Structure 1
Amino acid sequence: MLINIKIKNEEDILVESSNIRMYPVENRFSKKFILKDCSYLKDIEKVFIDFDFVFFIIEVLNKHNESAIMYSFNFRIEDFKINQNNIHLLGVPIIDYDANNYDQNVIDIFMKWSEDKVIPFLSLDDDYKKSYNYSCLIWSGAPDEFNDSSYNIDLSLVKSDIDFYNMMGDYFFGNRGYFGHDSYSFEDILDSINRNLKEKIIIVFKRYSEISFQDKIFIDKIIRKKYQNIKFEIY
């Protein structure tokens, strides 16, 4: 599995799972978390009753099989229910100001990837597309080399900034590939790859003149720069 959820109390692991979902509670700060197929301590009910707070740690594996903490936060327990291997927790997550905000879309994406599902990113809504982009960054990291010496890319399906960046990641680096989330990160990656290249690369953008998206004015400047080892051909 690519995702692992732990609920801890001080140093003890109380619950482990690879399936979690958060639900908002109307007109309250509280959230409801449902963890499925859990393993947990035999006296977990007593622990939940005796302690007001537990600590969530959500880790993911990247393509290099390296583990990283994606989300971690304290959780104030208001109520709970245990049904066989499923645990329902109601309470308030307390997230540090400099920590990543919990994104259920990212969790869902890693759970789908754990089942080797391919996600059709162009059919997602805008928020989900951004979550997909962030998931690709966590999975792949920022690349530093191209896999081929030439690319022919049809951009006719690009409708927005995030479409462009997700499509770039997929075309250049395959499923779950990452090539930036804005014009700055796109340019940084391109410059880094250019410095590492030992041979010329040709990139053909087909139907680029027909598409429109907010960042295009910046992308125009980036792809029209003179690179030592990269040549763009635009149609």
Structure 2
Amino acid sequence: MSDLIKVSLTKNGEVVFCSKYIKLEPIAPSLARKFIFERSTSSFPVLEAGDLLTLTICFVTRLKQEVFYLGLEIYILEFGQSLNQKEFWLYGNICNCENMNYSQGEVDVFKSWQDGHEIKFNSLHVSSIQKLDYIGASLYYSGLSKEIIDSNEFLIDLSVVKVEIDLFYTIAYSLVGERGYFGHDFHTFRDCLLEVYIGSGFNKGISIKFKGRSCLTSSEVNLLLDDIAREFSKYGFNVLFI
């Protein structure tokens, strides 16, 4: 399988270690955190306590381009390797924690894809944080699409929709495809529609068919669906409920 996660440690401007996966200890009471790296082909780095390292994480997108995810400066306190030598770990203070926008869940979604495992979104628990992680990872993987699948008709199955995030996943899957992104709330949905309009123009003649509205039990999802239907109509789509 192709690598979708690229992790590097840099010391004094020189890359000293590369990995295809990182695991970060959950939130700790101090700035010191433990980082665990999956060993690939890299040898273990030569380090000393007190070293200042730069950690960089990038994802590889649908278009095979690297997109920056996170960069941290880490003051090393301790480091070592697992007994089976398949993992390298380090423990240290994060010097630029204001830049800390890290989601282990998003990294784990990319790891699943990297290992060749698709995630069955509709099988996740209705309140699972993994749903947000999946949508977040899809944004990095696919970005804001400037075009949709070439078709004159799209069928959106509402029978699988239980909460609002399900609706955005289902729309993305139908219009963009697996690992696609079409918003995670109403405002970002509108941004995605605008990107498609800028990239492809007015969508006159293309039908959006919502099937199974009677399956929706949430009043909030029903109201959101009405708003989404109106937005589709504004951009020339022919919206139908069947």
Q: Common fold, TM-score beyond 0.5?
A: yes
Superposed, 1:25-44 pairs within 5 Å as 27-40=29-42, 44=45
TM-score, structure 1 normalization: 0.86
Superposed, 1:97-136 pairs within 5 Å as 97=98, 99=99, 101-125=101-125, 126-136=128-138
> Do the aligned residues in 1 keep the contact of 2:153 with 2:208 (CA within 8 Å)?
yes
Task: Name the CA distance, whole Å, in 2 between partners of 1:17 and 1:172.
Answer: 34
> Do the aligned residues in 1 keep the contact of 2:10 with 2:17 (CA within 8 Å)?
yes
Task: Name the CA distance, whole Å, in 1 between partners of 2:225 and 2:26.
Answer: 38
Equivalent in the alignment of 1:224: 230
Task: Give the aligned residue type for 2:237.
Answer: I
Identify the match of residue 207 of structure 2 among 196, 202, 205. 202
Between stretches 221-230 and 115-124, larger displacement belongs to 221-230
Do residues 156 (structure 1) and 159 (structure 2) align?
Answer: yes
TM-score, structure 2 normalization: 0.84
Alpha carbons of structure 1 residues 162 and 100: separation in structure 2 relative to 1, 3 Å: farther
Alpha carbons of structure 1 residues 141 and 121: separation in structure 2 relative to 1, 3 Å: same
Between stretches 178-187 and 124-133, larger displacement belongs to 124-133
> Do the aligned residues in 1 keep the contact of 2:55 with 2:74 (CA within 8 Å)?
yes
Task: Name the CA distance, whole Å, in 2 between partners of 1:22 and 1:85.
Answer: 16
Note the alpha carbon deviations across 1:166-216, whole angstroms, 9 max, x for none. Answer: 121112221101111110111232244356146511111112244126354
Aligned length: 231
Task: Name the CA distance, whole Å, in 1 between partners of 2:137 and 2:117.
Answer: 14
Q: Once superposed, what is the RMSD of the aligned Cα atoms?
A: 2.4
Equivalent in the alignment of 1:81: 80
TM-superposed deviation, 1:101:
1.2
Task: Name the CA distance, whole Å, in 2 between partners of 1:112 and 1:164.
Answer: 23
TM-superposed deviation, 1:141:
1.1
> Do the aligned residues in 2 keep the contact of 1:183 with 1:219 (CA within 8 Å)?
no
| Unpaired segments ≥5 residues, structure 2 | none
Note the alpha carbon deviations across 1:42-61, whole angstroms, 9 max, x for none. Answer: 7x34x23351x211000111
Task: Name the CA distance, whole Å, in 2 between partners of 1:169 and 1:199.
Answer: 19
| Aligned-pair identity (%) | 25
> Do the aligned residues in 1 keep the contact of 2:50 with 2:76 (CA within 8 Å)?
no
Note the alpha carbon deviations across 1:99-122, whole angstroms, 9 max, x for none. Answer: 351111111111111122111112
Alpha carbons of structure 1 residues 92 and 158: separation in structure 2 relative to 1, 3 Å: farther
Equivalent in the alignment of 2:178: 175
Superposed, 1:58-73 pairs within 5 Å as 58-73=57-72
> Do the aligned residues in 2 keep the contact of 1:25 with 1:32 (CA within 8 Å)?
no
Task: Give the aligned residue type for 2:148.
Answer: F
Equivalent in the alignment of 1:91: 92
